[in-house]
A and B are shown apart, each in its own frame.
Chain A
Amino acid sequence: MTSVLKGNFQAAKSVEAKDKPEADDLDSRFEREAMKKLGGSIAYVAKKKIKWAEDENP
């Protein structure tokens, strides 16, 4: 078990990170993985599709 409190002294009581019960079935694993790809702005560049000629005076 891991302590969720981290500090420069020993707190009076320790608090452990309890495992969340639903953690490891296939559905929740899938949902976690899918979730990792979401959030924020999603943008990527398909490098192979592009051509560009520089215009010297934008």
Chain B
Amino acid sequence: MAKLLFINPVVREEDVPRHVPYGIALLAAIAIDKGHLVQVYDANAWRLGEETLREVLKADAWQVIALGGITTAYGSIKETVRIARQECPDAVIMLGGGVLTSLPHEIMNWLPEVDVGCVGEGFITFPEMLAMVDAESRDWHRIAGTISRNAQGKPVLSPQRTLLEDLDTLPYPAWDLFPREEVYFKNSQMLYSPEGMLAQRRLDINVSYGCSMICRYCYHLGIAGDMRYETSESGEVSVSFDRPGAYTRTIRYHSPEYIVRMVRHMRDKYAIDYVLFLDENLMTMDQHSKRLWMKDICRLWHESGLAPIPSYDAAGIMNGWEGVHWSGTSHATLCTKEILKTMRAAGCSHLVYGYESFAPHVLKTVGKGSTPATNERSFFWTLEAGIRPVPNVIIGFPDEDFQSIRDNMAAFDRLGIQVRPHFATAYPGSEWFTLHRDSLEAQYGGNLESYILDLGDATKITGIICKKFNAVELIGLRELMCEGNYRLLDVFESAWKRVHQERPLV
């Protein structure tokens, strides 16, 4: 029975904490089921700094300190493991999640405090790691899905872990171990739809893994069949993700019965009024199930009494509801008019669409299979169904040019949307990262770790992959795009052309 401390590192510090970390909550539930002693310190929720972290680390004789997170949590993880090693010299420090999985060797080299990493899915690997602690053994290489150091201190991967087939065997996440009332429910609001704005008690769920698309900028945490182990000629094994000609996916989803039973449980136990589906792309699952999955979820939502019934104030304005509203992600080419209406009737309030661009020549290079017309069609279908579309756009694609910027501005006008585009960013694990790694490293003086530490929201510019525009130009162009300032765009284009006539781009 291992005594285990989970630490959820700080992520997206510029915003309030909004999401119980689903992976850690699931792994905590699995560890409890296996009989371990588990405590969670949600540093992201509390944000109390180093002093409290040290107190937590001294609060018991931890045998295991476990952390995980996405790539942008790297800075917080680095700091946390440094302090953890000082305070708990004998504890086994375990790291998992997207941050480790995309660059396992590099991260193990940068973080000497970490004893063992979990590469990809943790559902089976993690309890096996805990069992090894119980057995007082440290033969991590015997457990598939880990990375640990050999006798020479070099990080080595054990064999690849296969993905769990039947997701419905998983316990519900251990929401009890996170500060719901103290922190998360206070930040329930999602300013994407009127219902999202009124949400008072939101929790998130992730009920599918995988996406059928091969978007060049995307990464799937090594838990979507997107990761392969490859052996080099010298016999070294490394992880590999999307690259031209090599795309793999495994689509998995919970049954509608499991999902709705879990939401009913969340409603009964925590009195939630809103659920955010974290799933990468709900429409992949719907298409994969021959259009049954979403329909069944919606049917069961009604049958379980979860479909929201609105309440109104004296002026007839909605001020709340009985039941559970929800939202998630959709996809321009995979949604249908019918399913959107069905989803709305079951309480769906907004859907995020990664439209990325409204320029045909740019969309062709993205790998999404969408066109400006399918983007617009899905946008209006969604609105007509009574759901708010959340149209995400990116600037700074490799082939971004003046035409694509104008195409986007014209689309914003046509659609009546206010968008602040993200900057195209190559996160590790994406095809872009694989292709542009050398250039990105060069932009950070040859230091890949500095690049990783700089990564954030993509609302700020970091490493760029755009052929025509540099970082400063992209910052300016985004402002013009947001303002719809065609006049200055024309002025800048002629100046830009003059400069590049004299000094053509390579």
Is residue A14 within 8 Å, beta carbon to beta carbon, of the partner chain? yes
17 extra interface residue pairs, beta carbon distance < 8 Å, beyond A4-B42, A39-B459 = A2-B182, A4-B41, A6-B39, A6-B176, A7-B38, A7-B177, A9-B37, A11-B59, A14-B59, A20-B48, A35-B16, A38-B459, A39-B12, A43-B393, A43-B417, A52-B376, A58-B376
Interface residues of B (CB under 8 A from A): 12, 14-16, 32, 37-42, 46, 48, 52, 55-56, 58-61, 176-179, 182, 187, 189, 191-192, 371, 373-374, 376-377, 380, 383, 388-393, 414-422, 457-459
Tell whether A41 pairs with B417 under 8 Å between CB atoms, given A6-B176, A12-B59, A58-B371: no
A-B contacts, 18 of them at CB < 8 A, read: A6-B176, A8-B32, A11-B39, A14-B59, A18-B48, A36-B15, A38-B15, A40-B457, A40-B459, A41-B419, A42-B420, A43-B420, A44-B191, A45-B416, A45-B417, A46-B416, A46-B418, A50-B415
- List, in ascending order, chain A residues with CB within 8 A of B380's CB: 50, 52, 54
Please report whether the interface of chain B is mostly helix, strand, loop or mixed according to DSSP.
Answer: mixed
Chain A binding site: helix, strand, loop or mixed by DSSP?
Answer: loop
In the complex, are the beta carbons of A35 and B59 less than 8 A apart? no
CB-based contact A6/B59 at 8 Å? no
Residues in A neighbouring B14, C-beta threshold 8 A: 35, 38-39
Q: Enumerate chain B residues within 8 angstroms of A2, measured Cβ to Cβ.
A: 179, 182
Indicate whether A32 reaches chain B with its CB closer than 8 angstroms: yes
Given A5-B39, A7-B37, A15-B56: A43 touches B377 (CB 8 Å cut-off): no
Select one of B16, B32, B418 contacting A43, CB under 8 A: B418
Whether A26 sits at the interface, judged by CB under 8 Å, is no
A16 to B377, CA, bound (A): 52
Complex partner residue of B391 from A11, A40, A43, CB under 8 angstroms: A43
Complex: A47 Cα to B389 Cα, angstroms:
10
How many residues does chain A have at the interface if contact means C-beta atoms less than 8 Å apart? Answer: 36
Chain A residues with a Cβ under 8 A of chain B: 2, 4-9, 11-15, 17-18, 20, 32, 35-50, 52, 54-55, 58
Check A5 against B59 for contact (C-beta < 8 Å).
Answer: yes
Task: Find the B residue at minimum CB distance from A40.
Answer: B457
* B37 in complex: contacting residue of A8, A13, A35, A48, CB < 8 Å: A8
CB <8 Å contact, B373 and A55: yes
Neighbouring B residues of A6 by C-beta, 8 Å: 39-40, 42, 176-179
Q: Are B48 and A17 closer than 8 Å at their CB atoms?
A: yes
Q: How far is the CA of A54 from the CA of B376 in the complex (A)?
A: 9
In the complex, chain A residues whose CB is within 8 Å of the CB of B389 = 45
- Min Cβ gap A27→B in Å is 17
Q: Which 7 A-B pairs have the closest CB atoms?
A: A58-B373, A7-B39, A39-B15, A49-B416, A50-B416, A13-B59, A42-B420
Chain B proximity of A37: nearest CB distance (Å): 7
Least Cβ–Cβ distance between B476 and chain A, in angstroms: 18
| A47 to B420 alpha-carbon distance, docked (Å) | 17
Residues of A close to B56: CB separation below 8 A: 4-5, 15
Contacts of A48 in B (CB 8 A): 416
**Residues on the B chain within 8 Å of A44, using CB:** 191-192, 388, 390, 417-418
User: A54 → chain B, closest Cβ, in Å?
Assistant: 7
Q: Is the CB of A4 within 8 A of B46?
A: yes
| Residue contact A18 to B52, C-beta cutoff 8 Å | yes
The answer to whether B182 and A43 touch across the interface, beta carbons within 8 angstroms, is no
> With the chains together, A11 CA to B37 CA distance in Å?
9
Across-interface contacts of B191 in A (CB, < 8 A): 37, 44
Bound complex: CA of A13 vs CA of B373, how far in Å?
60
**With known contacts A39-B457, A43-B392, A4–B52 Cβ distance under 8 A:** yes
Q: Hey, which chain A residues are within 8 Å of B55, CB to CB?
A: 13, 15
Tell me whether A17 and B46 are in contact (CB under 8 A): yes
Q: Which residues of chain A have C-beta atoms less than 8 A from B40's C-beta?
A: 5-7
**Chain B neighbourhood of A36, CB < 8 A:** 15-16, 187, 189
Of B42, B189, B416, B419, which is within 8 A of A47 by CB?
A: B416
List, in ascending order, chain A residues with CB within 8 A of B176's CB.
6
| Contacting residue for B422 out of A9, A13, A41, A49, CB 8 A | A41
Find the A residue at minimum CB distance from B370: A58
Closest chain A residue to B332, Cβ basis? A58
Name the residue of chain A whose CB is nearest to the CB of B14. Answer: A39
Q: Which residue of A lies closest to B58 (CB)?
A: A13
Check B41 against A32 for contact (C-beta < 8 Å): no
